[in-house]
């Protein structure tokens, strides 16, 4: 990835380029902000620029040996850490990681875990990863000005792993740069966060999104603007909308089944829906809960008569014409609290059948308020 490949964010790219040219290179940065905006490709473009032999005014040269190796994500001084499964370390998934990045540089954790066929497992950065990081960074710089360690989603790092890295992040070997890329600052260990210089990466602006969607997917202006509006600054979400994401359609179907079953109060139907949700895997369950929270928010807002503040596709809008009135000030807080609690319980490996049966039964009560 080059800076020119990053959608929008012109002022952030300019800031990174200027700091490198002014020889202001913090030993540890954390890129934080909303999901789907390009923080990971931005981190890779920054690492490339740091090590480019003939840096241009606005981007890496693309011609030097370092750039050629970055093109294949195979530079000996570029290292990655990311969530994996089966108690492995990142290097064991490095071929899949490079393949994923070569296909699309904008993706989320759910997409990555499906790509490596994680099934029901949750992606984590396990304790044993710390030894690999320390080993790699204690080696001398191989050929570039900087040895760069990009940690994607440090919020998924096991606390024992994070604790072992504190000294390394605070006082890394010479010419070493950590770049942490997070979407959940609250769950990044505070002692890690305090050792890094934060850089907020904002959501993409409407015009930046529209221009990129039209250029990359050959959309007309209306279609591109509609997708950009619903995605609210996330290019990853916009791509899913353009591709008519099967996952998004499945979540909508499941949401309709759940709310209809809960509203009917039919215990047999409720149990069937709860069991279906319980069988889709933990990462999918968490994504479905977040999707449901978004739907409740949109249907609640739609009751206020402010269509510009509502972010729904056509099917969701049609369902909401009859369903939205049941989401109101008497139950919106209860729904938000219970779905958020279910999300936490799933993360903590709770019994999915119990979690979702209990949740559906509570939805029955809330929809009748």
pTM of the model: 0.77
Classify domain 3-200 by CATH number.
Answer: 3.40.50.300
247-367: CATH topology is: Zinc Finger, Delta Prime; domain 3 (1.20.272)
Other Cβ atoms closer than 10 A to 234: 22
Return d(Cα 18, Cα 57) in angstroms, integer.
9
Strands (E), 90-234: 147-152, 176-182, 197-200
Kindly state the DSSP code that residue 133 receives in the 8-state scheme: H
Q: Is the pLDDT of residue 244 over 70?
A: no
Q: Quick one: pLDDT at residue 338? A: 96
Residues 302-352 pLDDT 10s? 988 877 788 888 889 899 999 999 999 999 999 999 999 999 999 888 999
Return d(Cα 234, Cα 183) in angstroms, integer.
12
Q: Is the pLDDT of residue 126 over 90?
A: yes
Q: Quick one: pLDDT at residue 232? A: 85
What would the mean pLDDT of 104-131 be, rounded to a whole number?
A: 91
The percent helix, strand, coil of the chain (3-state, each to 5) is 60, 10, 35
**242: pLDDT confidence band, cut at 50, 70 and 90?**
confident
User: How many residues can be counted in the chain?
Assistant: 369
Return d(Cα 99, Cα 111) in angstroms, integer.
13
Return d(Cα 282, Cα 110) in angstroms, integer.
10
What would the mean pLDDT of 55-73 be, rounded to a whole number?
A: 96
Residues 246-286 pLDDT 10s? 677 889 999 999 999 999 999 999 999 999 999 988 888 99
Residues 16-55 pLDDT 10s? 999 999 999 999 999 999 999 999 999 999 999 999 999 9
What would the mean pLDDT of 210-219 be, rounded to a whole number?
A: 90
- Sign of the CA dihedral running 97, 103, 106, 111: negative
Return d(Cα 199, Cα 196) in angstroms, integer.
9
Q: 3-class DSSP state for residue 78?
A: strand
């Amino acid at each position: 990835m080059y800076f020119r490949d990053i959608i929008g964010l012109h002022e952030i790219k300019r800031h990174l380029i200027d700091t490198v040219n002014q020889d202001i290179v913090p030993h540890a940065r954390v890129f934080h902000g909303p999901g789907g905006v390009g923080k990971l490709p931005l981190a890779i473009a920054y690492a490339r620029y740091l090590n480019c032999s003939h840096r241009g005014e606005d981007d890496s040269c693309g011609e030097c040996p370092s750039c050629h190796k970055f093109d294949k994500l195979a530079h000996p001084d570029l290292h990655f850490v990311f969530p994996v499964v089966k108690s492995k370390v990142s290097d064991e998934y490095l071929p899949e990681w490079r393949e994923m990045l070569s296909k699309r540089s904008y993706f989320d954790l759910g997409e990555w875990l499906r790509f490596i066929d994680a099934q029901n497992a949750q992606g984590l950065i396990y304790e044993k990863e710390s030894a690999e990081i320390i080993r790699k960074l204690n080696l001398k710089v191989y050929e570039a000005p900087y040895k760069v360690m990009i940690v994607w989603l440090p919020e998924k790092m096991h606390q024992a792993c994070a604790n072992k890295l504190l000294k390394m992040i605070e006082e890394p070997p010479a010419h070493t740069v950590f770049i942490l890329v997070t979407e959940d600052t609250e769950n990044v260990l505070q002692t890690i966060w305090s050792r890094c210089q934060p850089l907020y990466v904002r959501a993409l602006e409407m015009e930046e999104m529209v221009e990129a969607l039209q250029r990359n997917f050959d959309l007309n202006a209306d279609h591109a603007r509609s997708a950009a509006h619903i995605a609210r600054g996330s290019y990853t979400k916009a791509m899913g909308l353009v591709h008519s994401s099967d996952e998004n359609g499945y979540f909508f179907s499941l949401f309709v089944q759940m709310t209809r079953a809960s509203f009917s109060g039919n215990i047999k139907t409720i149990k069937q829906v709860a069991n279906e949700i319980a069988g889709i895997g933990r990462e999918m369950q968490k994504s479905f809960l977040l999707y449901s929270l978004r739907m409740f928010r949109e249907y609640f807002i739609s009751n206020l008569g402010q269509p510009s503040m509502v972010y729904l596709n056509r099917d969701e809008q049609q369902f909401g014409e009859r369903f939205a009135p049941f989401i109101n000030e008497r139950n919106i807080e209860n729904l938000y609290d219970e779905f958020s609690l279910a999300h936490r319980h799933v993360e903590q490996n709770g019994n999915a059948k119990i979690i979702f049966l209990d949740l559906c039964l509570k939805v029955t009560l809330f929809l009748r308020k």
